Amino acid sequence: MCFSGAASVFELPLRVRSVLRCAGCALALVAGCGRLRFDPLTRADDAGPGDASPDAPYHTLETLMVPALGTVVSSTTVLQVGVTYRLRASGTADVGGGILGDAEYWDWTAGTPLDLATNMMVDAGIGIDDPTPALTKTPASWGAYTATHIYEVAWPGTGTNLTANYHDDFPSNNNGNFTLEILGP
């Protein structure tokens, strides 16, 4: 029984018994003796198509070539508002004089990859929806340096396509392309 001490209740005045009975019902609900009508587990299972939860399966929607020369390229994919995509930037290209760069760093052969361009006024790397090279870019960082040169960031849809271009203080001596993949649920 959820409500214990029932025998002694009958020795009390009716009004007091009534109060105790109501209190017992309330306690029963709180304690889980009564059936509550919602089940928290069902809320986690209602993810339908387009769900952007981190563990939803992602697949490549589009692959773009981003020229190291700094040319702005646009996706044909329209990124839907309310959906979190992932952008995967990979590959290396010549960013001047045969020195290689990736989506975020360059000149890593000495063991200390450089994040900023030579003039220290440009964050070298691929900018998204951010065509102007400057000391900060979007994304602010593609992540810690990795020798795989494969980086991935979460990217919320803006209701339109995206643009991408390589940021460098002196892009005209660059050669090659980076790869940018748009992944979506």
Q: Which residues bind Ca ion (CB under 5 A)?
A: 95-96, 104, 115, 123-125, 168, 170, 173-174
Per the CB < 8 A criterion, the answer to whether 177 and 66 are in contact is yes
Q: What does the alpha-carbon distance between residue 132 and residue 166 come to, in Å, rounded to a whole number?
A: 9
Using the minimum distance from each CB to Ca ion, give the nearer residue, 26 or 120: 120
Report which residue type is found at 84.
Answer: T
CB of 45 to Ca ion, least distance (A): 41
CB of 78 to Ca ion, least distance (A): 28
CB of 135 to Ca ion, least distance (A): 10
Using the minimum distance from each CB to Ca ion, give the nearer residue, 84 or 174: 174
Using the minimum distance from each CB to Ca ion, give the nearer residue, 3 or 170: 170
Per the CB < 8 A criterion, the answer to whether 103 and 125 are in contact is yes
Q: What does the alpha-carbon distance between residue 115 and residue 92 come to, in Å, rounded to a whole number?
A: 14
DSSP 3-state of 162: coil
Closest residue to bound Ca ion by CB? 96
Per the CB < 8 A criterion, the answer to whether 173 and 93 are in contact is no
CB of 153 to Ca ion, least distance (A): 13
Using the minimum distance from each CB to Ca ion, give the nearer residue, 102 or 181: 102
